[in-house]
Amino acid sequence: MSEETPQGVLGDEQSVIQHESTEILERQIRVAIYNSTNTTTPSYAEGYVQANYSSIHDLLLEAGFDVTRITSRDIADYKLQPSRYDILVLADNVPLTNETDIVKDFWLGGGGILSFDTAASYLCYEGILPREAEGTDGCPNYFGYPYNSFYNITARHPVTQSYELDDSITIPHDDWAAYNWSALQESSLADDVVRLVTVASDDNEAYGVACDPFDMGGKVVHLGIPMGDQYPTDFDEMIIDAVEWICPTPKGRVAFDFSHRPYYGIDSWDAYCDFAGKYTELRNDIVSRGYTFDKLYPSPDGNLTADRLEAFDVLILEAPTLNYTEAEVAAVDSWVDSGGGLYILSDSWGSMNEECRHLQYLMSSYDFSIYERMAGFTGTVSEASNHQTTEYCTSLSLVAAGFLNLSGDAVSVWEEGADTFAAADPHGNGRILVISDIHYATDTYIDDSSNREYTFNVINWLSSDDAEVLIFTNEPEGELFWTGKSIHAVQTPVARAANELGISFVIHSEAAFFNRSLRSRFWDLVVFDCPTSLSVGYIDDIEWYVETGGALLMNYWGMFNIPSHSLWPKLGINYTGRLYNPTPVYPWEDNHPLFTIPTQYKASNYSGPRDYGTTGTLMEAYDNATVLAGITESPEETTATLVLRNDGKTLYNSYLTDQYAEDIDDSTYEDRLELWLNELAFMLRPEIDSPSDAEIEFGTTGENVVWDADSYKPRNYVLEENGVVIRNCSWNGEPISLSLDGYAVGTYSLAITVIDEIGETASDMVEVTVVDTTKPTIDGPSDMEFVKGETGNVVNWSISDLRPAAWELFINGTSNQTGTWSDGDELSFNVDNFEVGSHHLVLTVHDESGNYAIDVVIVTVLAESAVTTTTTTTTSTGTTTTTQPTTTTTTNPTSTTEPTATGLPQSTLIVLAVSGAVICVLLIVIVKQR
């Protein structure tokens, strides 16, 4: 097995730990375990390192994770990247001195770290936990190795969800690494770290901590558990939960190209650049706002190849000092055409001639180019278009910037007079944005003008080309008011829930930009989250959207300002009152998916501690809507706060969802996150059409029942026929077809349920009736005559039907033979023994459905005496004329009218009745001729 072979794919003989997952959306978590054989503690660390991590390796493997041992060689080759692994496990060991920065790159890029025991020293040394310990081993100021054997669960958290508060764990070992909680509370991460495990005698000794840093990097969990012979299995559930909680759920994945040696690098230790340490703030903004970030280093397998680019949503190219190959240009172009977002940082042609030439070559198929002019521009640019990237931006500060030429579909985004400095170009299914200044987003200038806001807006826009959901939220204003933290829209509860569910979305906090996006295209869902004030004029735009048939999830408290607005009846609601104080809200249908999928809400109510002054409005539902929650424990007509229109297209919250910042149901997640998860999942539930019931003729081919079904996260479908499952198949969102070929006569109830990855469903039932109205086919002979005594006279019928049953032969009105038959049978009857005369043979064939066919054959048997020879002699001429025997046959027409009680059609009976007369007439003629 190679060093990078994943070991998390379980064979049939392997068991997976049965565990209540911390994950909201099931996904494959990729875990890299640092595979160190070193037993000597590096000089920067404090403690004893272990080379035996088999216990943790086997635990994670059995839990179903994709586990890979990653070696020092892999790290040196820059294979430890967030696009390849979600989590790095430091199992009571630490990176070698020459690996520390590369491992930190992984964490700074959004990868998570699960560390054990001595690895706390590495977290301190790199300033990961806490920042203030950077450059030191952290011991004893921030952590130590106290002696204890009794441990308590101190907090309910996703990492400790399998335990109860104050659960006690007794371990007959000691000397575990414990953080100094007081020191952490005095650090810059005080608000971002949670104490999980302590000891009863001293809760300052934090043997388990979880950190979700607000400013940079991925999540971190440290457990003081040692590896080797002292490994305690009592913490197995906590370790599994930690892996699931740490795993990032990014809005997108970003790559910064180092393979062509950019002019500026990101961190101070970057070697593949001319000048290091320039874009740390840019990277930290991108990661802290929900993205992962890879440094794309040179690779022996190729640099900008289709395989490498496939993992990313955004690629950043900045002033390359090495040129691109023809294959790389083609790969980038194909990647953009397929939906990738390309962010190009160019500069002044005069100061960076070679770098600009390289970018010019790569951009040759796009609708802009770098203006080949020597001088650059330094100053403020304030002329911005209404492009999505300019939201909340008033100006940019540029330093020695170049200029851009535009053509085709490219649009100017920032300009001053006749000079363009930033431009956007839709290209195939992807997007490109070029800005002609590599300096504006560096650490030195990023806080000038709107530089910081703009450069992140670019990332957000480039990564949203495939978005089908539009979100407006002004919750950042509410968060600033309540917590003092300034957050971006992508950090709000609704955005975090969307990321958790894997939803691709466009998000705005500025209403004018939301309005432009709203009217720009069709959206699968529009989310309107408005916990703070907003001009009521935008409600008109929401009404327009609803009238077009769009799906809407609305969280709005201000109905009391416009109680008679014409939007409300379209949502099925009517204003009844105003709420001024935080008030519990009670689910009135506990089993509704809004309270059960994907998270099961376990409390009797939602309660918000935040008082916005006006916390919501009350309403009642019209007949076209259903009330699901309200401020009374049981339903009352005018106390509703959550209403779903009966067609499922609109859902309205009149009480501010973002207030629910507590964990009333003790799920270890904020109630508002759970509610947003459930509401988003429900509004994006699968959809399926309802084909008409069908009636088809038995035996026809090419008939199908086709369901057009759609889902943003399709998983599988179940198809039942008359209550019996006939299919349980994976589903990719394409139409589902069932062939009706071969179905027997009968009625079939076909019930289908499509299911998404979250568990939301949509169902339909079609009734198919297979009928048989087709008569059997008889291929019969013509009427027959022969002279008595001749042999070999046989009547042959070929009969066919898909559901054959029985036949009956009548001779001269009397049933002669009966039998069963098969499709394609030939029935043969020898008539050599028939007496002289005319005989009516009537064959009746039936199928299983009662359809029948009749064929009549008249067999005439002639006597030898009926053949005469007449000789006439004429004496006048001496000529003799001989006349050959002649035969006269009278044939009555056949009929296929309804059978009588005797089994024969009435017309056939008439034919048989008169046949004697025909024979008599014939005999009289013959006698006369004698």
Quick: pLDDT tens for 468-517.
999 999 998 888 877 788 899 999 999 999 999 999 999 999 999 999 99
Give residue-wise pLDDT tens across range 569-585.
Answer: 999 999 999 988 888 99
Name the pTM for this structure.
Answer: 0.86
Report the alpha-carbon distance of residue 60 to residue 63 in Å, rounded.
5
Q: Which residues contact 502 (CB under 8 A, 6 or more apart)?
A: 25, 27, 249, 713, 757
Domains and CATH numbers, the chain: 30-246 (3.40.50.880), 252-462 (3.40.50.880), 469-683 (3.40.50.880), 687-770 (2.60.40.10), 777-929 (2.60.40.2550)
Q: Residues 6 or more apart from 459 whose CB is under 8 A from it?
A: 252, 254, 286, 291, 314, 341, 343
**Residue 397, Cβ neighbours under 10 Å: how many?**
19
Q: What is the pLDDT of residue 115?
A: 98
Pair 385, 413: CB distance under 8 Å: yes
Strand partners, 852: 846
| Cα–Cα dist 383/278, whole Å | 27
- Element spanning 402, H or E: none
DSSP state at residue 57: H
Beta strands in 713-869 (DSSP E): 714-721, 724-730, 736-739, 746-756, 761-771, 777-779, 784-787, 794-800, 804-811, 814-820, 826-830, 837-847, 852-862
Helix (H) or strand (E) holding 241: helix 236-246
CA atoms within a 13 Å half-sphere pointing along the CA-CB vector of 244: 23
For residue 830, count other CB atoms closer than 10 A to its CB.
11
Quote the CA–CA distance of 16 and 31 in Å, as a whole number. Answer: 16
The pLDDT of residue 21: 58
Q: Do residues 658 and 529 lie in contact, with contact meaning Cβ atoms separated by under 8 Å?
A: yes
Ramachandran angles phi, psi of 235, nearest 5° = -100, 10
User: What pLDDT score does 793 carry?
Assistant: 96
C-alpha 334/C-alpha 340 separation (Å) is: 9
683 in Cβ contact with 676 (< 8 Å): no
Confirm if 130 and 188 have CB atoms less than 8 A apart.
yes
Q: Give me the pLDDT at residue 22, please.
A: 57
CA distance 432 to 423: 8
pLDDT beneath 50, residues of the chain: 1-19, 869-930
Angle, CA 518 vertex, CA 516 and CA 523 arms, to 5°? 145
CB count, 10 Å around CB of 632?
16
